Amino acid sequence: MTICIPTTTNEGKAAPVHDHFGSAPFFTLCDIETGKVEVIANSDQGHAHGMCQPLSLFADRHIDVVLCGGMGARAVQKLNQGGTHAYRAVPGTVAAVLEQFASNQLAEITVDNACSHHQGCH
């Protein structure tokens, strides 16, 4: 299973989780079966609201789960169409959020509870 976590730095499992999916400087990909960690720079972090295309960075990869502070409804829809689910992460490191996910402590982000214009979503 591959988990994608938007992060503020490229420090792997020690990186702080970024509060919003599309504007994260980096995406940390964690394969929980192999333990492999890969960090990808977000080349589209300066986008206008609703216009981000971070999913294009993962076009050649299968992402099972996204853990993040929040994301817009369009991103949730696109992820869900591809079979990927997103869960709302609390502030902390990648390692801490992975532990919370493994113990079923994170709520799923749905179209109904997604961010709206970056207000009140995280």
Question: 76, 114 in Cβ contact below 8 A?
Answer: yes
Chain centroid offset of residue 58 CA:
12
Q: Where are the domains of the chain?
A: 2-109
d(CA 82, CA 62): 9
pLDDT in tens, 63-103: 999 999 888 888 899 889 889 999 999 899 999 999 999 99
Q: Specify the CATH architecture of the domain 2-109.
A: 2-Layer Sandwich (3.30)
Q: Check whether 41 has a pLDDT greater than 70.
A: yes
Predicted structure pTM score = 0.85
Give the residue with greater pLDDT, 55 vs 42: 42
Q: Is the dihedral of CA 87, 93, 96, 99 positive or negative?
A: positive
Model confidence at 117, pLDDT cuts 50, 70, 90, reads low
Q: Check whether 51 has a pLDDT greater than 70.
A: no
Chain centroid offset of residue 75 CA:
10
At residue 95, the 3 state secondary structure works out as: helix
Chain centroid offset of residue 92 CA:
13
Two tokens at 13?
A: 């499992």
The H or E element that residue 78 is part of is: helix 73-81
What's the chain's average pLDDT?
85
